[in-house]
Structure 1
């Protein structure tokens, strides 16, 4: 395995955009940084960076290793600090932004635990299906579902979330079950308008099928779509965790079970930096443990 300093040097170069700037920020010479990255590429047997006289560019392998390497470094930093800060020091405001539907189901129990165990902690929570601007808003932690845009932030992947296409029993009794994916274009579908792509994607035996769902109900709120679903207004494509209770109660049914739908990764983001505040660390640890306890990836 490559040594830790080689990984740290590569991550520094990727974030700084060059060897000289990374060397200045790390307090070592450019030749040292370059030698570490060369050694890392040699150990991995792949090219991580494309270099020219003006700038560097990450290769596909470099981009993948950067994301994973950065996550490993962040978790290692957390591990060092897990025993370094006493409970009494955990307090002050903790600002968190999270998706609304996920927040009310999975953050609330965690926040109740934090409030009970750390009486000096002040919770300031924003639930929204719109991504907050982490560069310009002073959040301590962000919970994200899907791809991360803020590459400079430290990210920890918690789980993968699967999606399902569902309809209520009332809807199926009234309108019948769709016989094919193509039929979704002429059905009343409940469409999430918060995504750039409106298509629903299905995969079966390596073949991908994209369907543009029909319907007159649209919303950028997953909770609104869930209410419409339970009211029998149409067919929805939602994260499985949102409909797990309705499925258990027999209110809704999963359609097209012989197809796979996309999964979305669940991340916790925090601002960059070696020092992780105790209040941030305990929140991340407790949310991670709670999601594992609930087996959220299996819903």
Structure 2
């Protein structure tokens, strides 16, 4: 049977590319690390590392085993988190992961209500990207997390339970002096000749734009790639172009832009509340879960 401690050493060496760096990271001597990894190679029955003059690199077997090692270590971390919960070491604290746009729309009300209803409990909120939210769930750092998806790319993570919270419609942002600024609603077919501002780095809203324009029979002309929705709104406000955004991302719009509805022909994103199925859930976490569901339901019914 493979030794878990040696697997941890292998993962550290592969990740750092160095016996010495891994030893410093884990509190071993380099010779001890080397000795343990040679024993692991015996257990595995094949070489795991190419030892070079400057550092090491994994063999194909080493890279494969390091990947499994990382998964094992995450599960062990999750087990420790669950045991700590069971022993009461986290009593009074509930940890939640969120992504920025939904945090600005729903989180203030949820936090305020949670603190008012449960003044003796501590709420630890972490705002980050989708992939990191999933990792935080998997290793037990957070008990619940807000995630999102679109119809063509549904969330499918093993052992994660999902509660749909709301549909977040895609809206159009135009400058205050744009020809459509006085309207409350328009369609994609009326936007074929516009310049567009889109989120950069293969952001999901870029795919929403591409799919929506294709369905309307045209290809969007991209005028600017923005790093966030604040930058996108700023560029819209000075007439560089128009932009799509989830409604929650423009809850507090730039003063020189206007927000128009687009209807159901433009995809909406689904907002989800996620938790690990196999995790022991503390009463504080269950209370927060229900509170977020209630706040999302109220938000969904607002005009």
TM-score, normalised relative to structure 2 = 0.55
Q: Which residue of 1 aligns with 2:104?
A: 104
1:138 equivalent in alignment to 2:144: no
Deviation at 1:254, TM superposition (A): 2.3
Shift in alpha-carbon separation, 1:182–1:244, aligned structure 2, 3 A: same
1:76-132 Cα offsets, whole Å, 9 max, x none, are xxxxxxxxxxxxxx9533222111021022111111221232233222212234432
SS at match of 1:266: strand
Shift in alpha-carbon separation, 1:145–1:96, aligned structure 2, 3 A: same
1:217 equivalent in alignment to 2:220: no
Shift in alpha-carbon separation, 1:121–1:220, aligned structure 2, 3 A: farther
Q: Which residue of 2 aligns with 1:252?
A: 258
Deviation at 1:201, TM superposition (A): 2.7
Structure 1 stretches of 4+ moved >6 Å: none
SS at match of 1:94: strand
Which of the numbers 160, 164, 184 marks the counterpart of 2:167? 160
Q: Which residue of 2 aligns with 1:21?
A: none
Q: Which residue of 2 aligns with 1:235?
A: 242
Confirm or deny: 8 A CA contact 1:154 1:271 kept in the other structure.
yes
Which of the numbers 149, 170, 178 marks the counterpart of 2:177? 170
Confirm or deny: 8 A CA contact 1:115 1:121 kept in the other structure.
yes
Shift in alpha-carbon separation, 1:96–1:200, aligned structure 2, 3 A: same
Deviation at 1:173, TM superposition (A): 8.7
1:202 equivalent in alignment to 2:221: no
- Alpha carbon RMSD of aligned pairs, Å? 3.6
Which of the numbers 174, 179, 189 marks the counterpart of 2:197? 189
TM-score, normalised relative to structure 1 = 0.55
Give distance in 1, aligned partners of 2:121 and 2:246. Answer: 31
Larger radius of gyration: 2
**Consecutive unaligned residues in structure 2, runs of 5 or more:** 1-89
Shift in alpha-carbon separation, 1:209–1:152, aligned structure 2, 3 A: farther
Give distance in 2, aligned partners of 1:243 and 1:117. Answer: 29
Give distance in 2, aligned partners of 1:276 and 1:180. Answer: 49
Confirm or deny: 8 A CA contact 1:94 1:280 kept in the other structure.
yes
Shift in alpha-carbon separation, 1:142–1:224, aligned structure 2, 3 A: farther
Confirm or deny: 8 A CA contact 1:199 1:212 kept in the other structure.
no
1:195-243 Cα offsets, whole Å, 9 max, x none, are 273743339xxx9336543334323433432343345432111112333
**Consecutive unaligned residues in structure 1, runs of 5 or more:** 1-89
